[in-house]
Structure 1
């Protein structure tokens, strides 16, 4: 009989007994014995059945061995402790266990492992106390890793998250690195989106971008100089959590937010062409999260944040430069080394020192205050990114270096150097020879500096079709592609010729030049003054 049925039986016996029914009648009516009637009258709740005595098991001879293994594991490095499979294999190989199944060993280890930890004083004694966060006062910051297909390649990027503790409003930013530049840029972006700075503390773990040294087991930290300047600029009050896993619970809100954001918005793996495009998606996801409701809260994230937005500290008027300035020297390969990666600059700067502004996802190269190159940051150490345009002046003098140039291969991989370029190059080399044909190609490539890519491609295609294998012909066809012919062209007799798109037109350079001149607003010339001089002379 189940426990529920026994409770109902006891209730029925007690009810009939209160109605005056005798003990024999209770036994006969309910079909129970005298002991059951007495037990029901003594208590409304049936007594718990005594457990069955434990039965002997074939595992009993091996239980001391398992206990000893689990005791030794208490002082063993976590990643080299015994798994249940390893315990089972050792019992079979070293102790001759043959007639005990794996599930029996698994059940015993699952029962004994926490008991042994308790017996040796290894239980977790830390208690978690619920916290109340005031509006606009506290926030938490952390980094997490995400996987993205960037231009078809699976790469690992860094996700910055700043989460307001009261409302749960979180702002995210993806960057190529998790260094100090990304740390600062994430803050600046978050403060801009929030419209202010938290009025109280912001919780951090011991990121190298902010903390240079942890002093003992205290909360004191030696902070990096740039982080001190950044905190002073934005009036940020930093609170550092305990090092290691023991301090993760001190900023559990942002720890959970990164996992939630990754599962809900980055599954399946996003496919993007640039980090700028990915961050635009991230901003859309953040705005959509304003409508979600955390747990059993009454208000949504957006509604709760609207209440604390007014309590944030105002942003400073002056901007803060989040990038890092560097001054590398250009080597003989027209390259600079930045954080163990190499990038190209125009070959005219070989041997000179340039200024580099390094951001989280890109870098800009300056000659004084003039920008001369820009690159997206590379995601692996020891990598190299070269722009073919930076070597064109050198290739005019050394055309034989182009076929095997690394910059050419990277341009092909990026789609900047197309099959149309290759076809025109081959035809030019056949017509003019390898050296002169390559020089003509370099002159064509120079057109990309001031003519849109698609127009140059159209010019190359038209010149190749016509057999015009000179850079001047490509430039002419590129300009023609950039400026479509008007459908109405005036003729010499005053009539207007309506042209179809396929009609060939030879434009008059004089007419073209005159049509682009501004209107002449000067008064027409007059000779009245000269007539007066003539009258005076004759008189």
Structure 2
């Protein structure tokens, strides 16, 4: 500043020009002009000290301290490390440790705050405005078409009014989550302006040190499409969205007990939306005499409009099939079929919450499967393309992979068929599978084996008897008004004479 002040004094107080100042100070013209044009002489604000960078000698021991404090998350509150305990352990267990207790205490205090391990953490009452929502998940079993699912359910709650809507899902993947959210948006006729979420992997891929989140590309497109602002909670801070935490339990106890049994998940979710609307006639827990439905009108008036175009929640990907035309998803746990023509090739998939659409590389449909869920190995097979293909080349059946994939009874039945009947039988089985499913065709084959009926006509008749709803007519009652049958004498010699004249041979 002495140099700057001297140059400015020469120019502004003594009236010297720039060449004279250059000659007197020895500074170049650019430096002189810079100092003369200065208008701000404030010192910059001091940088806050970063405890991460304190005591370079402590850097080698920070991973050890971090590991001990991280384990404290699982320990009871009164059995967690103090700074003094950390310091003593470092002296005892780490060879060459030579940092002071003051530095260790400073770093431990910083890390405990960063990891939310402070015992004296307080809670601030939150104020919610109309149009804000919170989302969370719960686990619930349900039966769809007698098939049990260990599923999930999404709850979208509105803290201002205490309204909330549950939607059952097969799992917690992005397709289930977004389809459920959209169903609620459409039921409301609008979109919440702000929605609070946990740091679920469906949405968040990484949490930065500064609290910023890296979000999945699909969620970014989803939130941009509907225009809502996403807010994320601190890890392990359920109190920050306590409204929806309570609503998850309330929804389970009031809408999912006893375990639901239904035919269609889509229809059941529509019922849940209607039942939720009816539930809003309750008095709000905080305002005496005011119902949830009254306050919810303010929530709905603050909603954003629905976009004109629906968002496509499906996931698209390509997979390689094996030599039988099968492929797997979910790290090999779930196996699906395509068709023999698409064996050892690449196929396109469109995955929704409940369906897997299999297409060829030109996006022509091949088959559609029910999407599998669960952590155990499962497989689903559409036999129609396989049976149809092999019916065109029945002689290659036993040398094809299709025969190896058939259940035992069907293999036995195929061996018992004659070569001339095998093509017709395969076509009949394909038709039966298309009409009522592969299991019905298999049961028909088992019945045919029992009766030793290996011809196509017998197979069709057995299927009709088992699976076609043909009414059994009762016998006609005997009535007096019906005349009796009179046996007429018949002479067949005249017919024999005529047949012989016509050249027919009467055996």
TM-score w.r.t. structure 2 length?
0.59
Q: Identify the match of residue 386 of structure 1 among 381, 388, 394.
A: 381
Does structure 2 retain, via aligned residues, the 8 Å contact 1:139–1:165? Answer: yes
Q: What is the deviation of 1:291?
A: 3.5
Does structure 2 retain, via aligned residues, the 8 Å contact 1:455–1:479? Answer: no
Matched with 2:317 is: 326
Q: Identify the match of residue 351 of structure 1 among 344, 350, 354.
A: 344
Question: RMSD across aligned C-alpha pairs, in angstroms?
Answer: 4.4
Q: Deviations over 1:446-505 (max 9, x none)?
A: 1225645699899999999999753356557878997979xxxxxxxxxxxxx97779xx
Does structure 1 retain, via aligned residues, the 8 Å contact 2:403–2:411? Answer: no
Q: Which aligned pairs between 1:75-114 and structure 2 lie closer than 5 A?
A: 77=72, 79=74
CA distance in 1, matches of 2:146, 2:304: 42
Does structure 2 retain, via aligned residues, the 8 Å contact 1:364–1:373? Answer: yes
- 1:164–1:75 distance in 2 versus 1, CA, 3 Å: closer
- 1:333–1:468 distance in 2 versus 1, CA, 3 Å: closer
Q: What is the deviation of 1:360?
A: 2.3
CA distance in 2, matches of 1:223, 1:123: 31
CA distance in 2, matches of 1:142, 1:245: 13
CA distance in 2, matches of 1:213, 1:79: 22
Residue segments in structure 1 that go unaligned for 5+ positions in a row: 1-72, 85-120, 410-421, 486-498, 504-539
CA distance in 2, matches of 1:446, 1:74: 63
Residue segments in structure 2 that go unaligned for 5+ positions in a row: 1-67, 80-116, 477-507
Q: What is the deviation of 1:438?
A: 6.7
Does structure 1 retain, via aligned residues, the 8 Å contact 2:413–2:445? Answer: no
CA distance in 2, matches of 1:75, 1:456: 58
Matched with 1:309 is: 300
- The alignment status of 1:241 with 2:237, answered yes or no, reads no
Q: What is the deviation of 1:322?
A: 0.4
Matched with 1:446 is: 430
CA distance in 1, matches of 2:78, 2:421: 69
- 1:451–1:269 distance in 2 versus 1, CA, 3 Å: closer
Q: What is the deviation of 1:271?
A: 4.2
The answer to which of 329-338 and 279-288 deviates more is 279-288
Q: Identify the match of residue 129 of structure 1 among 122, 125, 128.
A: 125
Does structure 2 retain, via aligned residues, the 8 Å contact 1:140–1:164? Answer: yes
TM-score w.r.t. structure 1 length?
0.56
Does structure 1 retain, via aligned residues, the 8 Å contact 2:324–2:402? Answer: no
- 1:292–1:279 distance in 2 versus 1, CA, 3 Å: same
- 1:428–1:356 distance in 2 versus 1, CA, 3 Å: closer
CA distance in 2, matches of 1:82, 1:320: 46
Does structure 2 retain, via aligned residues, the 8 Å contact 1:141–1:204? Answer: yes
- Aligned residue-pair number: 361
Matched with 2:140 is: 146
Q: What is the deviation of 1:123?
A: 4.3
Query: 1:354 is paired with a residue of what secondary structure?
Result: strand
Matched with 1:177 is: 171
Q: What is the deviation of 1:196?
A: 0.4
Query: 2:247 is paired with a residue of what secondary structure?
Result: helix
Does structure 2 retain, via aligned residues, the 8 Å contact 1:159–1:175? Answer: yes
CA distance in 2, matches of 1:324, 1:265: 30
Q: Identify the match of residue 205 of structure 1 among 198, 202, 206.
A: 198
Matched with 1:43 is: none
Matched with 1:339 is: 330
Does structure 1 retain, via aligned residues, the 8 Å contact 2:324–2:401? Answer: no
- The alignment status of 1:254 with 2:254, answered yes or no, reads no
